Amino acid sequence: MSDMPRTKIICTLGPASEDPEVVRALVRAGMSIARINFSHGDHATHARTIQTVRRVAEEEGCLVAVMADLQGPKLRVGDLPQEGIVLQEGEVVVLTSSSFSPGRIPVPHPEALQGLQPDQRILLDDGRLELRVEGRDEEGVRCRVVVGGRLTSHKGVNLPGGTSHIPAITPKDREDLRFALEQGVDFVALSFVRSAEDVRELRRLLDAAGSDLPIVAKIEKAEAVDTFSDILEAADGIMVARGDLGVETSPEEVPFYQKRIIRACNRVGKPVITATQMLQSMMERPVPTRAEASDVVNAVLDGTDAVMLSGETAVGRYPVEAAETMASLCEHAESHLPLGRFLYGAERPPSPTVTEAISHATVEIAAEVGARAILTATMSGTTARMVARHRPGVPIVAATPNPRTLMRLTMVWGVTPVRVPRFATTDEMVVLMVRAAYERGFVRKGDRVVLTAGIPFGGEGRTNMLKVHVVGETGEV
């Protein structure tokens, strides 16, 4: 039986974690999903990283999914001297679409520069530096430095309140998506989503490629917050990307956006990731700050399915320690969740569908009969997701013959996905479900378990069976 936290951990892989033994240590620490950040690196490097993840996961006998995170219409500074440049408060600099020269900052996005207006704020490097537009001339956009500091190559550029004219899916994203599909990744994350139409555009590209890859929409713009309900309906999962969200909106609003977004995802049973700067200080130090520890714990208490490490594991000095710390914090937070009563408390939940009623009853009955585990048979993953949103106090073992569903459930809180052969009858399904849980140490002979599935098996979103079963009573183990 796994002793990993029930909250899933996503680790971004990069120079600090490309070594196979570091990847192995991350897997042992609890990494469920390896994130490949297409804002950095090249395809050859990413291919090696994906190959390493799969080889190590197979050697360790566990499931580790791969998520391709597309760069999206992210504005970035161009190439600067290696040591960077220092911007002094009050000085005037020019943003240009051409190359660097003293007093000129390259921003290779002419369409974005064209839209800048006098007195508009420009934030650099996740808001650490600030410029204000004064005007434009033949050289470019003239700006005054409001908050100075050192600026290095390829740092982000944000235009709070402005509208980007860059397409939602850039030519680079299309090339990266093609590569990701060739590599057989398990998720694709779409950056800087502004509306549900951005998600639908990516869906059309996937459809044209014959792929049903699940889409994770990253919420990091004010427009996305305003249209979130439509985005949630269009996407398969959500990431609360708090870094750019805090720059594009205001930092004091981000915790409330986080709570509302997570709650909305919980209610519909779609996985949600909390990301950015969760253990930021561990890029340089082996222990987190108290504020970071509190941040992780509160994300779990909010109901996040997964937490994500970015620079901490990609380029930080302590990648393994960061993952181990994240796992420890998640486990502690989980011990304080109102297990089984998370979604609706003591109230009787609204159950407009049979699936929702059965998923809630499954969790309630598991608690009442002292079940050791909840076992779900699922083809699409819907049954497992709907049960997991209630945060039951026992493991959820999701048995599926579908290899794609197997990997997709690595993002769902509390679910251990296991591959089983295809079955023809309900009795055969029960035998395979129970045997899978028994062989992995989740249950022993004589334990009670609660079984749930959709009958006949194979239809998406049709959970209609619930059964209390005693392990071994039909000779399955």
Q: How confident is the model at residue 2 (pLDDT cuts 50, 70, 90)?
A: low
What share of the chain has pLDDT > 90, as a percent?
82
Tell me the C-alpha distance between 152 and 68, whole Å. 25
Tell me the C-alpha distance between 86 and 149, whole Å. 5
In order of their start, the domains of the chain are 8-71+168-334 (3.20.20.60), 75-158 (2.40.33.10), 354-470 (3.40.1380.20)
Tally of CB atoms within 10 A around 445:
11
Mean pLDDT score, 304-316: 98
Q: Taking CA 64 as the corner, what is the angle to CA 61 and CA 67, rounded to the nearest 5 degrees? A: 165
Q: Is the preceding omega at residue 456 within 30 degrees of 0, hence cis?
A: yes
User: In this structure, are residues 186 and 65 in contact, taking their beta carbons and an 8 Å threshold?
Assistant: yes
Cα end-to-end distance, the chain, whole Å: 16
Determine the distance from the C-alpha atom of residue 470 to the mean position of all C-alpha atoms in its chain, rounded to a whole number: 36
Nearest to residue 265, comparing CAs of 305, 227, 307? 305
- 416: number of CA atoms within 13 Å, CB side? 22
User: In this structure, are residues 99 and 78 in contact, taking their beta carbons and an 8 Å threshold?
Assistant: yes
Of the candidate ranges 156-165, 290-299, 329-338, the one whose mean pLDDT is the lowest: 156-165
Number of H helices, E strands in the chain: 16, 22
Tell me the C-alpha distance between 298 and 175, whole Å. 37
User: In this structure, are residues 374 and 385 in contact, taking their beta carbons and an 8 Å threshold?
Assistant: no
For 329-387, the pLDDT digits (tens) are: 999 999 999 887 777 665 666 657 888 889 999 999 999 999 999 999 999 999 999 99
Of the candidate ranges 6-15, 54-63, 165-174, 390-399, the one whose mean pLDDT is the lowest: 165-174
Determine the distance from the C-alpha atom of residue 128 to the mean position of all C-alpha atoms in its chain, rounded to a whole number: 25
6 by DSSP, 3-state: which? coil
Token readout for 360 is 């809630």
For 10-40, the pLDDT digits (tens) are: 999 999 999 999 999 999 999 999 999 999 8
Mean pLDDT score, 73-92: 94
Tell me the C-alpha distance between 423 and 418, whole Å. 14
Q: What residues are labeled active site?
A: 35, 76, 218, 276
For 240-279, the pLDDT digits (tens) are: 999 889 988 888 999 999 999 999 999 999 999 999 999 9
Confidence (pTM):
0.93
Q: Taking CA 75 as the corner, what is the angle to CA 72 and CA 78, rounded to the nearest 5 degrees? A: 120
Q: Where are the beta strands (DSSP E) in 272-406?
A: 272-275, 306-309, 373-377, 396-400
B/e letters for 55-73, b = 16+ CB within 10 Å, e = fewer, are: ebbeeeebbbbbbbbbbbb
User: In this structure, are residues 84 and 153 in contact, taking their beta carbons and an 8 Å threshold?
Assistant: yes
Mean pLDDT score, 413-417: 98
Mean pLDDT score, 383-396: 95
pLDDT at residue 344, rounded to an integer: 67
Q: What is the mean pLDDT of the chain?
A: 94
pLDDT at residue 137, rounded to an integer: 86
9 by DSSP, 3-state: which? strand
CA distances from 265 to 200, 207, 268, 277, 451 (A): 18, 24, 5, 21, 24
Token readout for 129 is 């530096």
> Is the model more confident about 347 or about 203?
203
Tell me the C-alpha distance between 284 and 318, whole Å. 7
pLDDT at residue 338, rounded to an integer: 87
Q: How confident is the model at residue 110 (pLDDT cuts 50, 70, 90)?
A: confident
Determine the distance from the C-alpha atom of residue 7 to the mean position of all C-alpha atoms in its chain, rounded to a whole number: 12
pLDDT at 292 over 60: yes
> Is the model more confident about 343 or about 65?
65
pLDDT at residue 463, rounded to an integer: 82
Kindly tell me the burial class for residue 204, based on how many C-beta atoms sit within 10 Å of its own C-beta (0-12, 13-18, 19 or more). Answer: exposed
User: In this structure, are residues 34 and 67 in contact, taking their beta carbons and an 8 Å threshold?
Assistant: yes
Nearest to residue 381, comparing CAs of 342, 415, 353, 356? 415
